[in-house]
Chain A
Amino acid sequence: MNDQATETVEAPASADDLVPTRHTPAQRIQHILHANPALSPLIVLVLGLIVFGAVADNFLRPQALSLLVQQVAVVGALAVGQTLIILTAGIDLSIGVAMVLSSLVMVKLNADQGVPGLIALLIGIAVGILTGLINGLLVTRLNLPPFIVTLGTFSIFTAISLLYASGQTIALDPNAFLLWTGKTISIGSVSITWGVILMLLLYGVVSFALRNTAWGKHLYATGDDAEASRLAGISTDRVLLSAYVVAGVTVGIAAWIVCGRVGGADPNSGLNYNLQSITAVVIGGTSLFGGRGLVIGSLIGALIVQVFNSGLALAGVDPNYQVLATGILVILAVSVDQWIRRVKA
């Protein structure tokens, strides 16, 4: 009451201010989606599950869903790192081949050189971190656009992988420690792999850090408006570098998960993972312009792609339609993001 009185005295308002702002239903939806970046992908995921559940009657069975989650473990883990980089308004085109390189190092050290599994794993993860560090240093020290840097390192990491493995797929001994991520644990008819649990842990830790620490706030702020953040006193270069290094850690962990999934390492599989990780992030509602999005959205994004792929396959549709559906989803997601960004007070 008192507040209102002072308001009228202090600010002789225009007519606009006297009438409470009215929002059309579309604007209200826009506001809700704006405040909850993971909501629109979640709706798509639920709709997808309902539709494909109705079309293909074996789709919603626990076995089918378990398999579906296992299939997103690798892309899901990579998408964590990709999300961090996209949140800084960057992009990482090299993340998939960096993971391939990291997994090759693990597998080759273990299978060919006889290095113990745990040490091979740690060296492999270190290689993952190194790839992130290289990208990060090139972006921050040389001020190159992330797109160009990672386009370059994409080719470099691919070449190193192929040279290192002589283009060969390497298989691991079925009892190797590195294959632990592929081992399943079953609860009733639901069975998930340790790789899935590892991926979920990764989401938990990174979500926590983004949400609750100053580092998280600074990452969002830097992606949102780097210049304003710098002027506010954030050392934006350190924030950027840290994003690439943490992405490198996720590369290493994804490499371990991929070992468990394929039973070894394949130097030729990187390109798919690159694009799939970006697709998951974009469909998951994280803005390519930086500063907006949730890491959990990328998990939802990865699941959406897999739900559409599996659903269409189970419905007996030509596999080429899966690719078509992914393309439409990406364009829809970016359009929705653009619309949400135009939100007004």
Chain B
Amino acid sequence: MTQAMATAGEATQATEQPILEAEGLVKLFGRVVGLRGVDLRLYPGEVLAVIGDNGAGKSTLIKCLSGAMLPDRGTLKVEGRQVTFRSTQEARAAGIETVYQTLAVAPALDIASNLYLAREIRRPGFAGSVLRMLDQKAMRQHASDHIKSLGISTLQNINQAVETLSGGQRQIVAVARTGAFGSKIAILDEPTAALGVRETAQVLRLVKDLRDKGLGVILISHNMPNVFDTADRIHVQRLGGRAAVISPKTHSMQDAVAIMTGAMTVPEEEQSIR
């Protein structure tokens, strides 16, 4: 754990380069402006929360980043390389893993199968190449190691069907997926929306663990206390544009709500734009 944090710390210091960089994203829906030139920069080893009122362009922004939507204008860079995502699969191949609000897992499959869904490991040799047999043992082993490395003690049996888990544990499986395949960026869309207090705490702890492992995490949430507890920086969307980027250290929850509703503006030099 401490080791992971140390490496993450070094990584942030070594690379000044953002892991994900969006510049001037514009998305129009006919005459309706979804995004009016949004900039966003995400660094490895940080949690960037995205907040905003309904219709502020949060979902559109996230869809543009995760490949679910193609922006009309603007550029997207992953680790400095310019990219264009025509599908979520392409975004995933570039290392961007997205967890969606509710539709996260296949309930009847076990935890290991869910972690490896759509990227199963085949057995080496004849059994894998001709008989197309899966290496269930390796997948279970890796899944179990991964779950352990994240310090999740609530998931004991990796062969358990996901539907026998609580809502929070299911969401933990979904979030754990994001860190399992060497992905660099995790986008979490309201991961705690349907959860109780204790389960929320577990999921958020996992989010911090992913950050400590060096991932860049984008967290979309309506829950201000969660955002202020978890995020390093907070990107506030308003009316399709970026109203401000603030830090929980410099601004309060009241400030955040005021910026969201337009009651307050923050001068650039007081923001936490990195």
Q: Is the CB of B108 within 8 A of A291?
A: yes
B109 touches A345 (CB 8 A): no
Asked whether A61 is an interface residue with its Cβ less than 8 Å from the other chain, the reply is no
Query: What 0/1 readout, one digit per residue, does chain B (76-108) give for beta carbons within 8 Å of chain A?
Result: 000000000000110010000010100111111
Q: Which residues of B contact A231 (CB under 8 A)?
A: 88, 98, 100, 103-104
Q: Which residues in chain A, 8-63, are within 8 Å of chain B measured between CB atoms?
A: 10-11, 13-14, 34-35
State whether the Cβ of B131 lies closer than 8 Å to any Cβ in chain A.
yes
Across the interface, do A217 and B105 meet the contact criterion of CB distance under 8 Å?
Answer: no
Question: Which residues of chain B are near A11, meaning CB under 8 Å?
Answer: 153-154, 198, 201-202
Segment touching B, from A122-130, A155-163, A207-215, A327-335: A207-215
B223 at the interface (CB under 8 A from A): no
Quick one: given A3-B153, A10-B153, A11-B202, are A218 and B118 in contact (CB under 8 Å)?
A: yes
The reply to whether B166 and A234 contact each other, CB–CB distance below 8 Å, is no
Q: State which of A77-85, A136-144, A219-227, A300-308 sits at the interface with chain B.
A: A219-227
Q: Is the CB of B153 within 8 A of A234?
A: no
B-side binding surface: helix, strand, loop or mixed? loop
Q: Indicate if the CB atoms of A220 and B108 lie closer than 8 Å.
A: yes
Measured between alpha carbons, how far is A3 from B147 in the docked complex, in Å?
13
- Expressed in whole angstroms, the Cα–Cα distance for A181 and B105 within the complex equals 44
In the bound complex, residues from chain B placing their C-beta under 8 Å from that of A224 are 106-109
Instruction: Looking at the assembled complex, report how far the CB atom of A263 sits from the nearest CB atom of chain B, in whole angstroms.
Output: 37
- Rounded to whole angstroms, the CA-CA distance of A229 and B198 in the bound complex is 28
Q: How far is the CA of A14 from the CA of B201 in the complex (A)?
A: 13
- The listed residue (A7, A217, A225) touching B120 by CB distance below 8 A is A217
CA distance A29 to B177 in the complex (A): 31
Neighbouring A residues of B153 by C-beta, 8 Å:
3, 6-7, 10-11
- Out of B105, B118, B132, B201, which one reaches A233, CB within 8 Å? B118
Contact assessment for B120 and A214 in the assembled complex, using a CB-CB cutoff below 8 Å: yes
Contacts of B104 in A (CB 8 A): 228, 231
Query: B119, B132, B166: which contacts A215 (Cβ < 8 A)?
Result: B132
A-chain residues with CB within 8 Å of residue B36 when the two chains form the complex: none
Measured in the bound complex, the distance between the Cα atoms of B169 and A344 in whole Å is 13
* Given A10-B205, A212-B133, A213-B134: A233 touches B89 (CB 8 Å cut-off): yes
Q: Give chain B residues whose Cβ lies under 8 Å from the Cβ of A148.
A: none
In the complex, which residues of chain A have a beta carbon less than 8 angstroms from the beta carbon of B70? none
Q: B195-237 CB contact bits vs A (8 Å, 1 = yes)?
A: 0001001100100000000000000000000000000000000
Known A-B contacts A10-B205, A291-B108; the reply to A228 vs B103 at CB < 8 A is yes
Residues of A contacting B118 with CB < 8 Å?
A: 218, 229, 232-234
Q: Give Cα A94–Cα B151 distance, bound, in whole angstroms.
A: 51
Given contacts A234-B118, A343-B163, A345-B166, contact A229 B205 (CB under 8 A): no
Beta-carbon nearest neighbor of B160 in chain A: A345
Decide if B141 is an interface residue (CB 8 Å cutoff): no
CB neighbours (8 Å) of B107 from chain A are 224-225, 291
B103 touching A343 by the CB < 8 A rule? no
From residue A131, how far is it (CB to closest CB) to chain B in Å? 26
A230-265 CB mask vs B (1 if < 8 Å, else 0) is: 011110000000000000000000000000000000
Closest to B113 in A: A217
Q: Do the beta carbons of B106 and A233 come within 8 Å of each other?
A: no
- A212 CA to B88 CA, complexed, in Å: 27
Tell me, rounded to whole Å, the shortest Cβ–Cβ distance linking A100 to chain B. Answer: 33
Check: B117 CB closer than 8 A to any chain A CB.
yes
Instruction: Chain A residues near B92: list those with CB within 8 A.
Output: 233
Closest beta carbon of chain B to A269's beta carbon, Å: 35
Q: Residue of B at shortest CB range from A222?
A: B106
- Choice from A215, A221, A292 contacting B117 with Cβ under 8 Å: A221
Are A214 and B108 neighbours in the complex by a CB distance under 8 Å?
Answer: no
A-contacting residues, B120-162, CB 8 Å: 120, 122, 131-134, 136, 151, 153-154, 161
Contact of A344 among B89, B98, B164 (CB under 8 A): B164
Interface membership of chain B positions 26-70, coded 1 if the CB is closer than 8 angstroms to chain A and 0 otherwise:
000000000000000000000000000000000000000000000
For the A-B complex with A212-B132, A225-B106, A343-B163 known, give 16 more contacts whose Cβ atoms are closer than 8 Å.
A11-B154, A11-B201, A13-B198, A213-B134, A217-B120, A218-B117, A220-B106, A220-B109, A221-B117, A225-B103, A228-B104, A228-B105, A231-B103, A233-B117, A233-B119, A345-B166
Chain A residues in the interface with B (C-beta under 8 A): 3, 6-7, 10-11, 13-14, 34-35, 208-209, 212-215, 217-218, 220-221, 224-225, 227-229, 231-234, 291-292, 343-345
Question: Which chain B residues have a beta carbon within 8 Å of chain A's beta carbons?
Answer: 88-89, 92, 98, 100, 103-109, 113, 117-120, 122, 131-134, 136, 151, 153-154, 161, 163-166, 169, 177, 198, 201-202, 205
